[in-house]
Structure 1
Amino acid sequence: MPNITNILKAEISRVARKEVRAEIETLKKATTGTERISRNSNTPGSPNAATTTAS
């Protein structure tokens, strides 16, 4: 009969990895959205783009 401690440890590790993967996926999606907004706001002609004047 398998050791109950090892079974519980393996199950807890499996569930923890699953939770971490889900959290990382959420963070990746949020980061991608932020990067997309940031990139779009810095394009020339964008209302949010920094303007430079020639002196």
Structure 2
Amino acid sequence: MKSLINILKKDFAVSYGAILNPKAALKDKKTRNRFLASIFGYGVLIFYAVLFLPL
């Protein structure tokens, strides 16, 4: 559980930095890919939460 929280913290930090400075994030391929992956990951997480929460 602790490692999952650490991963989410790191992803959020990358996402937040990319939101604050999108031009720099687009230039850096590694940051851009991590940003897109974190957005996709959070989208999937929210989808499953909405899907299974009512059960």
Q: With the length of structure 1 as denominator, give the TM-score of the two structures.
A: 0.50
Structure with bigger gyration radius: 1
Unaligned regions of 5+ residues in structure 2, if any? 1-25
Q: 1:9 aligns with which of 34, 40, 43?
A: 34
CA RMSD of aligned residues (A): 1.3
Name whichever structure is richer in helix by fraction. 2
Write out per-residue CA displacement over residues 3-53 of structure 1, whole angstroms, 9 at most, x where no aligned residue: 1000000000000000000000111121xxxxxxxxxxxxxxxxxxxxxxx
Task: Percent identity, please.
Answer: 3
Unaligned regions of 5+ residues in structure 1, if any? 31-55
Deviating above 2 A after TM superposition, structure 1's stretches of 4 or more consecutive aligned residues are none
